[in-house]
Homo-oligomer: A and B are copies of this chain.
Amino acid sequence: MKKIVLLGVLALMLAAPVLAEEVESRDLTGRSDDGLLLFQSADGKFKFQLDGRINLVAALYSGSETPLANGMEVRRARLGLKPSWGDWSAQFDIDFNGVEAEIKDMWIGYGGFKDMMITLGNHKGQFSVEEVTSSRFITFIERGLPNAFAPDRRLGLSVAKWGKNWRAFAGVFGEEAVNADETGENEALNYNLRLNFLPILKDNAFIHLGGSFGHSQPNASDGGTVRFRARPETHVADNRFLNTGKIKNVQSWDQYGLELAASFGPVLVQGEYISTTVKRLEGKPDASFSGYYAFASWMVTGEKRPYSVEEGEPAGRIYAKKKGLGAFELAARISNLNLNDSEAGIMGGEGNNITLAANWYAYPNLKFAANYIMVNNDEYATGDGDYAGNDDYNVFQFGFYYSF
């Protein structure tokens, strides 16, 4: 930790004065960018973007042995503020979806070097392209099963650098902002690399290749444990059938991920494979888990797919070709999560989901989504013993998204 923090601070301190420029009081212009609120100065030095999101989800469950609660929830109630000034920017992002206000993005960033972003604070590591993709832009209502392996936002320091058709990301992270560590133990550190390359990147087509690596250690406050678990691509019912339980005697875990996304005109195909290996202490055997998903999506109304090299994500707002009608999308996904490792004696269950989806983008800031999910769990998918295994069921869910 020490070295990292020192190096980071040093880098920030060296970077800025060379590039800092005079920025003073100036008038702002307010703009509505397709329903989003933005204030900026004429020279672009000062920008302030409001990032508000209301995301409601209603879900109906059928065919499950374990009772699953139909209902509606506020999935996200996000208040985000995105100021930037000169070479510096920040993000202040709170989610009010539950009983508590939860810190999401909370960072200070330096963008004074060309095609580069240095970020300090609470932000996402970049493991898995679907995790990196903003919830405003993911194709399905929930991310796929392998998202169980992607770490949450944590306090850390990262650097992203990109070129015309590539992007590299390296970060070191400590704990989540919401965790007040009262153990007196130092925070565990986690390292994360991600590389993307685009052999094709044109106005209406791209091929995105990516790989990511993560090395993580358990927090002392967790007593040297780690747990991987997943909701079945629905969040209204809180049941997580696939669940390793808390794996003990954990030294660290290494993760590898492979990403592919390709788009030609209105078609997008995307897939990932993620593997996780847990190294254990005291002669306990290592444990390995994996997951994958693949989806295909078609903009029926013909819109091309956005891609952001800066963010390394095949995502962005969809602008309907025919504005009065909005844009329609059809998509299908298969996903797998295998938390069984019989050699290590950890049988967290394996699940296979098939999802059919229809999205309607009424406006670029207003989306309606319908998903039908067929869940196929194996006998070990018992929620660490809470449920019966082999519980196969269907989910019918609707998502409503408004950004402002």
Could you list which residues of chain A lie within 8 angstroms of chain B, going by C-beta atoms? 1-2, 5, 9, 12-13, 16-17, 20-35, 37, 39, 41, 45-46, 48, 50, 52, 54, 56, 58, 60, 66-74, 77, 79, 81, 83, 85-86, 88, 90, 92, 94, 96-101, 103, 106-108, 120-122, 155-156, 174-175, 177-178, 180-187, 237-239, 323-326, 360, 362-363, 365-366, 368, 370, 398, 400, 402, 404
- Residues from chain B with a CB closer than 8 A to the CB of A88 are 362-363, 366, 402
Give the contacting residue for A20; candidates B103, B122, B362; CB below 8 A. B362
Q: Are A46 and B32 in contact (CB under 8 A)?
A: yes
As for how many copies of this chain the complex holds, the number is 3
Q: Are A52 and B237 in contact (CB under 8 A)?
A: no
Q: Are A23 and B34 in contact (CB under 8 A)?
A: yes
- Residues from chain B with a CB closer than 8 A to the CB of A17 are 324-326, 360, 362
Return 27 A-B CB contacts under 8 Å, by A number: A5-B58, A5-B72, A17-B360, A20-B363, A27-B29, A27-B30, A28-B32, A32-B85, A35-B85, A37-B39, A37-B48, A37-B83, A52-B92, A54-B108, A56-B108, A56-B155, A69-B181, A69-B186, A73-B155, A74-B103, A74-B122, A77-B103, A85-B365, A85-B366, A90-B402, A100-B101, A121-B400
- Residues from chain B with a CB closer than 8 A to the CB of A122 are 74
Q: Which among A58, A121, A239 has the greatest number of chain B C-beta atoms within 10 A?
A: A58
Give the contacting residue for A54; candidates B68, B106, B175, B178; CB below 8 A. B106
CB distance from A279 to the nearest CB of B (A): 23
Inter-chain CA distance A365–B363, complex, in Å, is: 34
Inter-chain CA distance A35–B238, complex, in Å, is: 42
> Closest residue of chain B to A21, judged by CB?
B324
Inter-chain CA distance A107–B404, complex, in Å, is: 13
- Residues from chain B with a CB closer than 8 A to the CB of A366 are 85, 88, 108
Q: Are A323 and B54 in contact (CB under 8 A)?
A: no
The 10 nearest A-B residue pairs measured at CB = A28-B30, A83-B404, A67-B184, A32-B46, A71-B187, A35-B85, A101-B101, A22-B323, A70-B186, A72-B155
- Residues from chain B with a CB closer than 8 A to the CB of A5 are 58, 60, 72, 398
CB distance from A377 to the nearest CB of B (A): 16
- Residues from chain B with a CB closer than 8 A to the CB of A156 are 72
CB distance from A107 to the nearest CB of B (A): 7
Q: Are A94 and B96 in contact (CB under 8 A)?
A: yes
- Residues from chain B with a CB closer than 8 A to the CB of A323 are 20-23
Q: Are B27 and A238 in contact (CB under 8 A)?
A: no
- Residues from chain B with a CB closer than 8 A to the CB of A35 are 23, 46, 83, 85-86
